Structure 1
Amino acid sequence: MAQSSTEAVLESGIPFQRAIPSPRFAEDEGFGPSTRKVAGLPTGQRILVVDNDSDYAEALVCRLRRHGHETTRVQQGGTALQSLEDIDLVLLDLELPDLDGLEVCGAIRSVSCLPVIIVTARGTELDRVLGLQAGADDFLVKPYGFRELLARIDAVMRRVHQQPQRVREIQHGPLKIDASSREVSLDGREVGLTRKEFDLLHLLASNPDTVIPRKRLLQQVWGDSWSRRTVDTHVSSLRSKLGDSGWIITVRGVGFKLGSA
């Protein structure tokens, strides 16, 4: 079977010749999974690549998989926010078709301590500062050497593994939300929620005393589903299951925030 252009590039180590900077994958002999394991470096991470450049992302995903990482790729920020479950690390571009990468980074950080490395062609000092302020753990400018990317992934994951395990339970008065088991209880009574209801409640509870705009709720909980009725229906259902409309407060013309009964 004929070898694809992407496969040929990966085999030769020759960078893509494109108008937009593509990844410069330096030779990486000695950085395979077995060598990394002997050296005590993290292996087998579950990595989400968020990038709209198909050629770049395809080559990157292929190379990461060759180094033992379980890698998934999405093109849009809204889809990325729907794909964070069972992920160890996010490689995030800033140039996305639906959302700015900085907004996506901030949204991830507001609900999770998931490591994020921004990988982008936007490399000004301001971009770096804004990226780190948005919650990124590291910032890498395209084009770059693949060895450097692996080293940065290793460094970020070492820091994560050295940190004490963070509590994943949110307590808000009698309301308890367990992000690990995705269970909700109120006054010790289990509250059965659908997946989207849980995601909506968890997002609100992760930002106490903060009004979450309707647009962000739609993007982060439903991805590309842009229906005002979708949010209203789930809010109404949540209020009913929690037994009091005061748990979710509507801020007219803006969005919603978590209240208390």
Structure 2
Amino acid sequence: MKQARIRFDGKVLDVKVDDQGDIVLPDEKRLAAENVEWLPPAEGSMFALGLNYADHAAELDFKAPEEPLVFIKAPNTYTGHRKVTWRPDNVDYMHYECELVAVIGKEAKNVKREHALDYVRGYTVCNDYAIRDYLENYYRPNLRVKNRDATTPVGPWIVDAQSISSPNNLTIRTWINGELKQEGTTADMIFDIPFLIEYLSSFMTLQPGDMIATGTPKGLADVKPGDEVTVEVEGVGRLTNTIVTESEFFANHA
């Protein structure tokens, strides 16, 4: 089953999404996907992984980390499916990061690896855009790189955990304007989801709605205003948004 959050007729609704991609409202009325505003399907904190794919670390001439490199993304960064993301004016390089996201379903503290997936409500997709110009340290991305407004599309929905039998064996793909630019597999994660839940819950309590964004494989490319970027995780979903200029974004979001 797929669960989503939308805005329709001025109201924010928790809805189901059927196998054809249509929206099923609480009263069982159905809507076409293009007739609603898609919102991020979860609203908790996001714990994002840096350099969690061996091929991506090698792409950047880094050794694979021996401990998870985790940073936190604030909710102001989230945006929904089919919305816009802005590229700062006068920067040289902005790239996508297609990521599988595990959504926590119940409070998790001191969880052992063998029980970790019992705490996962489901999975979604995010595109964790980054500005290389602002990156001071790949190991600890600073706030301007990872916490700018509306620069992390999330969604379109959450797929129930029971529907994804092997979260560590899924194909990841990214397209720019319909051209395939990135293709990898979650099998190449350095730290898998059970490990990450055990690790994070060993020193803090994870809450329902919190998200773990598990990193991206190699194959990054620059994106520019006007580009339509689509990221996809096999069996989970396909998430699309469009890049606009900084001035255009803030003129429309004043």
TM-score after normalising by structure 1: 0.22
* Structure with more of its chain in helix, by fraction: 1
TM-score after normalising by structure 2: 0.22
* Structure with more of its chain in strand, by fraction: 2
**Greater gyration radius:** 1
